[in-house]
Amino acid sequence: MNYRHAYHVGNHGDVLKHVVLLHLLEALRAKPAPFHLLDSHAGIGLYDLAADATQRGGEYRLGIGAVLADPQAAAALPLYWDALKQLNPALEPGGAGLRHYPGSPWLMQQALREADRLALVELHPEDNETLRINIGGDARIGIHRRDAYEALRGLLPPTPRRGLALIDPAYEQRDEFERIGRALLAAHRRWPVGQIALWYPIKDAGSVDAWAKALARDGLPPSLRVELLIRAATAPDRLNGSGLLLLNPPWRLDQQLKAPLAYLLARLGREPGAATRLEWLVKPKD
């Protein structure tokens, strides 16, 4: 396990993932019934942008940095802005005062009400320890040091049944797309009513497309594909964009994401070939 998210935190992939995640969490909170959240690849939960690793990677500058440089960011992405502001009370329009970046566990923790539950899974020993320091001590949250693939089998379906699993692998292994595809289908079969959000990198667009279409043929429920390419996906050694595959997404999410996605494209997609995708991989039945 070489991947450490601190080097990449706040990049365009994180921005897309967390903007979409906040919409999913808001939809769950719109109903009083309790929900269960699972983050199968949690990371450390909370990041100091001044940390050595983050400064060395510096990817956040072209991600969250480029978004917040626009004084209109708060109006364009209100859920995201509110979360950042809660974590960085000194944050100002234009981006001054940004010091900490929220990982998915922190965003999920903020969404919990008294009866809601959250399971966080992180295998890396040091990152798991840091996660416990950042997010631990909350009776609503269980923190697990175990393999995500094994946890997806062991922890799903959750109680209560209503809820969301975020699957956000590091894609370190050559076969991780295939492996995660199989795990996704199995998780859905075990938890047919669950919402599942799978994040994936886009290096070469053609192979991602083939993978997604094969998954659709293998039995996905209604599934929405949300992607942001910051440049044409022709250089297979670069993170040209990323996407989320959303199984059983909430009603009207496709409509709600249109404006935020267009805004992210305007802020982050500065090179030729930049584009978005917001389409049903598997359409809901009328």
Ligand X SMILES: C[S@@+](CC[C@H](N)C(=O)[O-])C[C@H]1O[C@@H](n2cnc3c(N)ncnc32)[C@H](O)[C@@H]1O
Q: Which stretch binds ligand X (CB under 6 A): 34-42, 177-185, 221-229, 243-251?
A: 34-42
Query: Of residues 14, 39, 116, 168, which has the active-site annotation?
Result: 168
Using CB under 6 A, which of 77, 121, 152, 239 touches ligand X?
Answer: 121
CA-CA distances (angstroms) from residue 47 to 53, 98, 126, 188? 10, 11, 14, 31
Shortest spacing between CB 117 and ligand X, in angstroms: 18
Which of the residues 204 through 233 are near ligand X (CB under 6 A)? none
Shortest spacing between CB 201 and ligand X, in angstroms: 9
Using CB under 6 A, which of 59, 116, 127, 227 touches ligand X?
Answer: 127
Say which residues have a Cβ less than 8 Å from residue 284's Cβ, sequence separation at least 6: 222
Amino acid at 218: D
Residue 254 is a catalytic residue? no
Angle subtended at Cα 4 by Cα 176 and Cα 145, rounded to the nearest 5 degrees: 75
Amino acid at 14: D
Other CB atoms within a 10 A radius of the CB of residue 120 amount to 28
Task: For CA atoms 1, 44, 34, 252, give the dihedral sign.
Answer: negative
CA-CA distances (angstroms) from residue 17 to 11, 160, 166, 199, 253? 10, 24, 10, 7, 14
Which of the residues 79 through 108 are near ligand X (CB under 6 A)? 103-104
Q: Which stretch binds ligand X (CB under 6 A): 1-9, 216-224, 235-243, 269-277?
A: 1-9
**Closer to ligand X by Cβ: residue 11 or 223:** 11
Shortest spacing between CB 39 and ligand X, in angstroms: 6
Q: Which stretch binds ligand X (CB under 6 A): 117-125, 226-234, 246-254, 263-271?
A: 117-125
Give CA–CA dist 240/189, Å, rounded.
31
Shortest spacing between CB 100 and ligand X, in angstroms: 12
Secondary structure of residue 142 in the 3-state scheme: strand
Strand bridging mode 195-202 / 241-247:
antiparallel
Give CA–CA dist 272/173, Å, rounded.
29
Indicate whether 202 belongs to the interface with ligand X (CB under 6 A): no
DSSP 11: S
Using CB under 6 A, which of 42, 77, 87, 212 touches ligand X?
Answer: 42
**Closer to ligand X by Cβ: residue 227 or 282:** 227
Using CB under 6 A, which of 10, 27, 43, 200 touches ligand X?
Answer: 43
Beta carbons of 228 and 16 less than 8 angstroms apart:
yes
- The interface mask with ligand X, positions 137-176, x = CB under 6 A, is ----------xx-------------------x-x------
Strands (E), 26-140: 36-39, 46-48, 100-102, 117-121
The site for ligand X (CB under 6 A) is made up of 1, 3, 5, 17, 39, 41-43, 103-104, 121-124, 127, 147-148, 168, 170
Catalytic residues: 168
